[in-house]
Amino acid sequence: GLITPAGTYTVTATNTTTGCSNNMRGEAVINISPSVVPTIHIAAVTGDTLCTGATAHFTSVATNGGVSATYQWTLNGTSIAGATNSTYTYTPANGDVLTTRLTSDTLCTSPASVMSNTVTLTVDPELVPTVVIAQHPGGALLPGQTDTLSATVTNGGTPPAYQWEVNGIAIPGATNATYTPSNLNNADTVTCLVTSGGPCGGNTTKSNGAGIVVSNVGVPTSPQPSPEEMVLQPNPNKGTFTIKGNTGTTNEEVGITITDMLGQEVFTTKAVTHNGLLNQQVQLSKGIANGMYLVNVHTADGTRVFHVVVQQ
């Protein structure tokens, strides 16, 4: 009827029955183990906030679990069939609640079975952006007039990435939400690629195409020069090309400037025609970015503008 503290005890028994010539004595060692309380803690190795379709990994740390502890994971209060290891992996839904039950095989556990802490998961959707571009002021442009294009994005994340294109060619440096070109040609089409940012971003969407109307602008496209015309060949190129044509003025000095689509000058030179014919090779620096550039050829009777695509 006594409560004995945990420890090791020796019990002695002596037989003193009357009439026996000798007393009998015996001893036994009794070990009394202390009572222990098992505990278990679970953690989401991959974090408690994931993107749609991502896999969640859980691990557990138990104390006083014994040599062959058993586990039972539960999802939203329901036992998961086959989930009986110390770790668990699955693809969660938003708001899922995970716990596990530990059953210890250690002697003198009280209680023998305990529940873990709970982990609630947040699952964010993948961000697929939508983008619409608008022109300001819009309408038909005069030669050299600027037009600001702005991209309005939904589901862009933080922050989205922008890349403006003219006629499908990426414009170096045009990576903001707005783009203000000044040297567009009639019928050029401007679009904007938007890539969503943030942990669940990475998806890219192309905007609607803004058609550009420029009055009184024409760019010669004839494959061979005829009188009063010029050509730029080859196009596209790797940064080296030739401008040929008839300026109509004998031994004239011609100015050649090249700008990117943001209006920044990347090359300038002068050439002299012979008997009114221009034949000038241009070689851009090897480090120039791929994309579309504007080649402006300034002669006595005006300026001719070419779009050139560099693909190194």
pLDDT band at 227 (very low <50, low <70, confident <90, very high): very low
pLDDT at 12: 54
Compare 304 and 154 and report the one with higher pLDDT.
154
Report the C-alpha gap between 230 and 297 in whole angstroms: 9
Q: Has residue 2 got a pLDDT over 50?
A: no
Q: According to the per-residue pLDDT averaged within each range, which of 59-73, 132-146, 180-194, 284-298 is highest? A: 59-73
Residues 131 and 155 sit within 8 Å (Cβ to Cβ): no
Kindly give, in sequence order, each residue whose CB lies less than 8 Å from that of residue 39, ignoring residues fewer than 6 positions away: 62, 63, 64, 102, 114
The answer for residues whose C-beta is within 8 angstroms of residue 252's C-beta and 6 or more apart is 272, 273, 276, 299, 300
- Taking a C-beta distance cutoff of 8 angstroms, is the pair 241, 280 a contact? no
Please check the confidence at residue 26 and state whether its pLDDT lies above 90: no
Q: Is the peptide bond before 137 cis (omega within 30 degrees of 0)?
A: yes
- Calculate what percentage of the chain has a pLDDT beyond 90: 41
Residue 292 has a CB neighbour count (10 Å cut-off) of 21
More confident of the two residues 102 and 107: 102
Residue 294 pLDDT greater than 70, yes or no: yes
User: What is the pLDDT confidence band of residue 16, given thresholds at 50, 70 and 90?
Assistant: low
CA distance 123 to 174: 34
**Secondary structure letter of residue 30 according to DSSP:** E
User: How far, in Å, CA of 238 to CA of 134, rounded?
Assistant: 33
**34-38, 67-71, 175-179, 260-264: lowest mean pLDDT where?**
260-264
Global pTM value: 0.55
Beta bridge partner(s), residue 59: 43, 87
Which H or E run contains 278? strand 277-283
Over residues 257-273, the pLDDT tens digits come to 998 877 788 999 999 88
Q: What is the pLDDT of residues 228-257, one digit of tens each?
A: 578 888 988 999 999 998 887 778 889 999
The CA distance from 173 to 31, in Å, is: 80
Is the pLDDT at 288 greater than 70, yes or no? yes
Average pLDDT over residues 88-107: 94
pLDDT of residue 290: 84
Check if the beta carbon of residue 86 is closer than 8 Å to that of residue 14: no
Q: Which two tokens stand for residue 83?
A: 């989930």
Q: Is the pLDDT of residue 143 over 90?
A: no
Mean predicted confidence (pLDDT) in 285-305 = 84
How high is the pLDDT of residue 175? 94
The β-bridge partners of 182 are none
Q: What is the CA radius of gyration of the chain?
A: 41
Closest to 105 (Cα-Cα) out of 68, 73, 138: 68
pLDDT score of 195: 95
